[in-house]
Structure formats: C-alpha cells, structure tokens
Chain A
Amino acid sequence: MKCHEIAESSDEFLDDKLQAMQRQKIQQHLASCTVCSATLAEHNEYRKQLSQFSVPEPAAGYYALLLRQARVNGEQQKQRHVARRYRLQGFAAAAVLACGILAAFNLGQSGLPSDASAEQFAQQTELVSEEITVLINVPADMLGARLALEFPEELIPHGIEHGQQLAWQLDLKKGANAITLPVLTSGSFAHGKKMLVSAQIEYNNKSKLFQLPVEFFSPHKARYDLVPRHRAHATYFI
C-alpha cells in the first residue's frame, strides 16, 4: 500500500469503516512509515478539535420567531405580488420614456408665441427635420396594441398635415421597444424648455394615458451616449 492511499482512506480508517483486510494493510504500512503515522496522527487531532466545536445556542424561542417572521414576510410578499399582478392584468404594464433627440438648437433665438398654431409655426420659422425616440418598456408581449401620441405644438410629426396626433397599431415585444419618429422642429424655442408628449396605450380593451417629458440634448453630445443614460430614471410603470 502506498502513502497516498493511506491519506485517501484516513477518514474511513479512523472511523473504523474499513474491511479487516484493508485495515490490516494500513496498519502494516503505518508501522513502517513514520510520515504516514505522523500525518494520520495530525489528522486525528484535527478531527478531534473540530468535533469539539459547538455553536452557541440562541435564546429560547428564537427558531420559532424566525419561522414566524419568514411566514409573515413571505405572505406579505405574496400579497404584494398578487396585487401588482392584478393591477397589471388586462392591458399589461407599459413604461414609456420619450427621449427627444434634437441635434441642432439655436440657443439665442426667442421662444415661439404660445398661441401660434402648428401651421403658423411651420410657416413662420425655418423647420429642421429631427428624430424623436420613444422607448416603451413592457413586461409582456402586447400584440396589436394601439399607441397614440399627441405632440406639443413645437414638434410636428413628419408626414401629418393637420393636427398633432399620431396613432397606429403595433406589436410591442416584452422588454424595451424603441420607436423612432421623424419630426419637424424649429430652433426658435429656448433650450431646456419643458415639453410633454401625451401617449395613450390601448390593449385588450383597456387603456392608459401618460404624460411623457421630452428631454433635449446639446448638439455636441453623442446620441448613443444619451439614450441609455435616461432610460433608467425616467421609466414610468402603469
């Protein structure tokens, strides 16, 4: 028998779980090998020390209290989960973030008169074609959902002759859905002006209306750097 075999069988040997023949072989080896004898003695001492380890007993009733707490917390967690599921049921939850990416601003020009109509605005100012990206984050597939967007008068949906509303049916997939729309705008309003886009999602005979803040970015900032930065904190759950 070789030394590494002794090491592998040391636990069984000390626990007296080996067959007589095997045990006798080990004993013969130990009688002639001082290294294995010392190693086995060390291992025996190690086991003895660990067997004396004891975890201090907690106060009486501690385990019952832990179990009760786990039950109470677990039931509360389930109730919250169920309540949330019911709240979302029917049309599924939608989270919408509108990120208007307007690359060219003329910061020095004056704002648009508040009573100007979209047509007047388009006629009186030099319009620039830009894109607005709407991010819709839904927890489940919403096939055939109807999305309606109503833009402020400063933003004119490209291709819509009259009115500021745009509505169409689309398939929203679970997770983030990015919808990029062309818009016409002017640099005549001040940078940083707060604007809202109204959005309505209809799905499964239910609907939800949102007011979406539009965020503008300075021209020198790259788009890919901006969109993810605003995704997280401007998410709205139904």
Chain B
Amino acid sequence: MNNIISLFSRANKTQPFEHLVAPHVSGLYKQAYQYMGNASDADDLLQDVLLELFNKQEQMSQADNLPAWLNRCLFHRFVDRCRSRKRAPECDNIDDINVSDDRRNMEPEQYCLNRQIIAGLQNLNPIQRAVVSLHDIGGFSLPELADIVDMPLGTLKSHLHRARKQLKKNLQLQPFDGQARQSV
C-alpha cells in the first residue's frame, strides 16, 4: 500500500527542470569534458544534452537512479556526435589537444597531468573512452555502467580491459611526472 501511495504521489509530483538537474549538472559537465577533451566541446555536448533532458522531464522524474540515467543520455549523445563526425576525434600528439583555455585555471603540474590523461582518452574509441572514464574516473560500478552504456556485463568487462591496457600504454609512453620531464 505504501508503495502504491508513493508511486501515485511521485506520478503527480512534477519538479522544476532546474531543481532536478542542478545537483548533477557539475558531474555531467566533468563527464562531458572527459569525453570531448576540452571545455568548448564539452559545453556544446552538455547544451545538447540539457535541451534533450528538458523535453524528457517526465521520464527523468521517474528514473530510479538519476545520475546513471543522466549519464546514459550523455553517453548516447556523445556516441551520436562521434558517429556524425564519422570517426571519433583522435589525437596522435598531445600538443594538438585544445586545452589551452584551461591552462590558466590550473597548476602547471595538474595541467600537464590532465593533458596526458586526455591524450590517452582521446586515443581510445568512443565506447572504450566512455567505459574507462565512467568507471575509473567517474567511479560508476560495473552494474551501473552496464545500465548506462546498455551492454552485457561480459562485453563491458572486455571493453574495460582493452581500454585500460591501451590507456596504461599511453600513459607510460608519455610520462607526466615532473621529475621525469626534468631529467629528459
């Protein structure tokens, strides 16, 4: 009976758009930044997603796990964007990454670390980038991740394994430790 009442009250209760999304918009921006690799593209992606969310307020208010549901929307929009570009933006040289706008907001060490990790992420395909970013940086569990990217757990683990292997290789190839750079 309590469940019925709570379901009924939830169905009739509509929260304002900003009230629903505001607690999660920061997390969405960070995730979009990891996907796209720079603030400008992250901003574009997030604007698209927020407009989509505005039109899905009813579904959003009924989501059991709102952060995961929002990230699913973000993931799908990101994949759509990659498909529309025919091929995911890849980067062979970390100097090609457009993160110069972020330089002034960070310590040099932090900026350098970010560049290395973003370069590593950008060299992954969109699915691998999303999986490793959501799991290893975003902290989503594998079951949550399976829900977000809509994949069986086994497939997801394979993607995660391959993405980690590639990312580890990239990070080792481009040491970002300050002492290592000074010694070169």
Residues of chain A having any CB pair with chain B under 8 Å:
42-43, 46-47, 49-58, 63-64, 66-71, 73-74, 77-78
CB pair B171–A49 under 8 Å, yes or no, is yes
In the complex, the answer to whether B51 meets A53 with C-beta atoms within 8 Å is: no
Nearest CB in chain A: distance from B99 CB, A: 8
A56 touches B39 (CB 8 A): yes
Q: A56-B102, A56-B106 are in contact. Are A70 and B53 (CB under 8 A)?
A: yes
How close is B184's CB to chain A, nearest CB, in angstroms?
Answer: 18
Tell me, in angstroms, the Cα distance from A66 to B33 when the chains sit together. Answer: 15
Indicate whether A63 sits within 8 Å of B29 (C-beta atoms), given known contacts A56-B105, A57-B105, A70-B47: yes
Known: A50-B117, A56-B106, A74-B54. A69 touches B47 (CB 8 A): yes
Residue B88 is within 8 A (CB to CB) of chain A in the complex = no
Q: Is the CB of B33 within 8 A of A70?
A: no
Q: Closest CB-CB distance, B112 to chain A, in whole Å?
A: 11
- CB of B123 within 8 A of chain A? no
> Interface majority SS on B: helix, strand, loop or mixed?
helix
Question: Complex formed: what's the CA distance from A52 to B113 in Å?
Answer: 8
CB distance from B44 to the nearest CB of A (A): 11
Given contacts A56-B39, A74-B55, contact A66 B47 (CB under 8 A): yes
Q: Residue on A with the closest CB to B168? A: A46
Provide a sorted-by-A list of 15 A–B residue pairs whose CB atoms are within 8 angstroms: A43-B164, A46-B171, A49-B117, A50-B117, A52-B113, A53-B137, A56-B102, A63-B26, A66-B47, A67-B17, A67-B22, A70-B51, A70-B54, A74-B54, A77-B55
A66: contacting residue among B25, B113, B171, B176, CB under 8 A: B25
Q: Please state if B55 and A58 are interface contacts (CB–CB under 8 Å).
A: no
Tell me the nearest residue of chain B to A7, going by C-beta: B161
Cα separation A54 to B33 with both chains bound (whole Å): 10
Identify which of residues 1-52 in chain B touch chain A, using a CB-to-CB cut-off of 8 Å. 17-18, 21-22, 25-26, 29-30, 33-34, 39, 43, 46-47, 50-51
Smallest Cβ-Cβ distance to A57: which chain B residue? B105
**Cβ-defined contact, A70 with B167, below 8 A:** no
Residues of B within 8 A of A78 (CB): 55
The smallest beta-carbon distance between B74 and chain A, in angstroms, is 13
With most chain B CB atoms within 10 A of its CB, the pick from A42, A69, A71 is: A71
Name the one of A50, A54, A56, A74 contacting B136, with C-beta atoms under 8 angstroms. A50
- Which DSSP category, helix, strand, loop or mixed, fits chain A's interface? helix
Q: Which residues of A contact B114 (CB under 8 A)?
A: 53-54, 56
Task: Please name all residues of chain B whose beta carbon is closer than 8 Å to the beta carbon of A55 when the two chains form the complex.
Answer: 29-30, 33-34
Task: Determine if B110 is an interface residue (Cβ-Cβ < 8 Å).
Answer: yes
- 7 tightest A-B CB contacts, nearest first: A74-B54, A70-B50, A56-B102, A55-B30, A56-B105, A55-B33, A63-B25
Chain A residue, CB-CB nearest to B32: A55
Q: CB-CB < 8 A to A66: which residues of B?
A: 25, 43, 46-47, 50
* Min CB gap A41→B, angstroms: 12
Find B51's partner among A42, A54, A68, A74 (CB 8 Å cutoff): A74
Residue of B nearest to A68 (CB): B18
Determine if B17 and A49 form an interchain contact, defined as CB atoms under 8 angstroms apart.
no
Residues of chain B with a CB closer than 8 A to A50's CB: 117, 136-137
Residues of B within 8 A of A77 (CB): 51, 55
A58 contacts B17, C-beta separation under 8 Å: no
Other 17 A-B pairs with CB < 8 A, given A46-B164, A55-B34, A67-B22: A46-B168, A50-B137, A51-B137, A52-B110, A53-B113, A54-B106, A55-B30, A56-B33, A56-B102, A56-B106, A63-B22, A66-B47, A67-B21, A70-B47, A70-B51, A71-B18, A73-B54
Q: In the bound complex, how far is the Cα of B117 from the Cα of A78, in angstroms? A: 40
Q: How far is the CA of A71 from the CA of B55 in the complex (A)?
A: 9
Q: Give CA–CA (A51, B114) in the complex, Å.
A: 11
A64 to B171 alpha-carbon distance, docked (Å):
35
CB distance from A69 to the nearest CB of B (A): 7
The chain A residue sitting closest to B16, CB to CB, is A71
